[in-house]
């Protein structure tokens, strides 16, 4: 299905998940229309993002704080702190697996949510809902494990697309927070995309005034989707 044939809808207003005392609306691609890697690649290059099998982008009246951000991997320049982080974690073994339920992953996810996002929308004790957060029919999603010897420390959920890699979610064992595993997982995706000849790593949305998202702008150069075009900063 071409973009010109795809229908889009405006969601109802809901509480903003990022800015206090704010409401949000989204432009949502027709969830009944077929979605595959090619069509999602087209959408992600237009600032869309998926949550499970719902593909959306912010469409808020009077607010444009949420900006899609991506890293052009060929031009990416590693900072000194990122180089130290890479060296700090070079003892980890990395394995890419299909996106299916694994109880070891799930236990790490539960500990991560309890430590970092207790009471949030993804803090659920339900294996089926957990895996549904990450999967979408027609999209190749991989679970990338980072292990220290045999101990699982971190899992990165990644969509493999013609347009690049899309960082869906990352969770890790809170006991190893000092390793900077979330930031390291993004570095790994950048290096992996470069190695296999993909052009970008998509990091979802960035908000300038949201401290939780500040890390995304530390990967340089990066590109922001503003006024329907990607601008490099």
> Is there a single domain that holds both residue 133 and residue 34?
no
End residue of a domain, out of 35, 66, 97 = 66
Strand 164-172 with 200-206, pairing: parallel
Does residue 86 share a domain with residue 46?
A: no
Rounded Cα gap, residues 155 and 187, in angstroms: 14
Q: Is residue 152, in this structure, part of any structural domain at all?
A: yes
Domain boundary residue, one of 17, 45, 66: 66
pTM, entire model: 0.95
Cα 221 from Cα 197, distance rounded (Å): 18
Task: Kindly state whether residues 108 and 14 are assigned to the same domain.
Answer: no
d(CA 162, CA 151): 32
Domain boundary among 45, 66, 87: 66
CATH code at 86? 3.40.630.30
Contact 82, 90 (CB under 8 A): no
Same domain (yes/no): 187, 210: yes
User: Quick one: 138 and 192 in the same domain?
Assistant: yes
Query: Does residue 224 lie in a domain region?
Result: yes
Give a yes or no: residue 37 inside a domain: yes
- The pLDDT, as a whole number, for residue 120 is 62
When divided into structural domains, the chain yields a total of 2
Q: Which residues of 167-190 are buried (b: 16+ CB within 10 A; e: fewer)?
A: bbbbbbbeeeeebbbbbbbbbbbb
Strands 14-15 and 26-29: unpaired
Is residue 49 located within the same domain as residue 100? no
Residues 123, 30 within the same domain: no
Let me know the angle formed at the C-alpha of 173 by 121 and 164, rounded to the nearest 5 degrees. 70
Are both 136 and 57 inside the same structural domain?
A: no
Is the same domain home to 53 and 116? Answer: no
Query: Where are the extended beta strands (E) located within the chain?
Result: 8-10, 14-15, 23-24, 26-29, 49-51, 54-58, 67-72, 93-98, 140-148, 151-161, 164-172, 200-206, 223-226, 229-232
Q: Is residue 3 part of a domain?
A: no
Whether residue 20 is found in the same domain as residue 123 = no
Indicate whether 109 belongs to any domain: yes
Confidence (pLDDT) at 119: 65
Instruction: Please indicate, yes or no, whether residues 52 and 108 belong to a single structural domain of this protein.
Output: no
Sheet of 49-51, strands arranged across? 8-10, 26-29, 54-58, 49-51
In a domain, 2, yes or no: no
What pLDDT, on a 0 to 100 scale, did the predictor assign at position 20? 85
Structural domain for 141, as ranges: 70-232
Strands (E), 19-85: 23-24, 26-29, 49-51, 54-58, 67-72
Per-residue pLDDT of the chain (233 residues; tens, 9 = 90+): 677 789 999 999 998 888 888 899 999 999 999 899 999 999 999 999 999 999 999 999 999 999 999 999 999 999 999 999 999 999 999 999 999 999 999 999 999 999 887 666 565 778 888 999 999 989 999 999 999 999 999 999 999 999 999 999 999 999 999 999 999 999 999 999 999 999 999 999 999 988 889 999 999 999 999 999 999 98
Question: Quick one: 87 and 137 in the same domain?
Answer: yes
Task: Give rounded-to-5 percent helix, strand, coil for the chain.
Answer: 30, 35, 40
What pLDDT does residue 135 have? 92
Q: Is residue 1, in this structure, part of any structural domain at all?
A: no
């Amino acid at each position: 299905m071409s973009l010109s044939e795809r229908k889009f809808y405006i969601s109802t207003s809901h509480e903003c998940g990022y800015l206090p005392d704010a409401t949000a609306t989204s432009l949502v691609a027709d969830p009944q229309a077929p979605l595959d890697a090619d069509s999602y690649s087209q959408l992600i290059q237009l600032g869309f993002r998926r949550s499970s099998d719902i593909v959306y982008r912010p469409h808020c009246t009077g607010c444009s704080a949420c900006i899609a951000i991506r890293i052009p991997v060929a031009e990416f320049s590693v900072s000194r702190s990122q180089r130290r982080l890479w060296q700090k974690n070079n003892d980890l073994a990395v394995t890419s697996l299909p996106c299916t339920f694994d109880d070891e992953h799930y236990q790490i996810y539960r500990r991560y949510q309890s430590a970092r996002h207790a009471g949030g929308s993804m803090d659920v004790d339900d294996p089926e809902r957990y895996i549904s957060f990450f999967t979408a029919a027609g999209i190749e999603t991989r679970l990338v494990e980072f292990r220290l010897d045999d101990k699982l420390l971190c899992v990165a959920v990644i969509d493999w697309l013609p347009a690049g890699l899309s960082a869906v979610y990352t969770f890790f064992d809170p006991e190893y927070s000092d390793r900077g595993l979330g930031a390291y997982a993004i570095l790994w995706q950048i290096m992996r995309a470069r190695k296999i000849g993909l052009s970008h790593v998509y990091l979802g949305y960035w908000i300038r005034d949201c401290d939780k998202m500040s890390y995304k702008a530390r990967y340089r150069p990066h590109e922001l989707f503003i006024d329907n075009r990607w601008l490099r900063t």
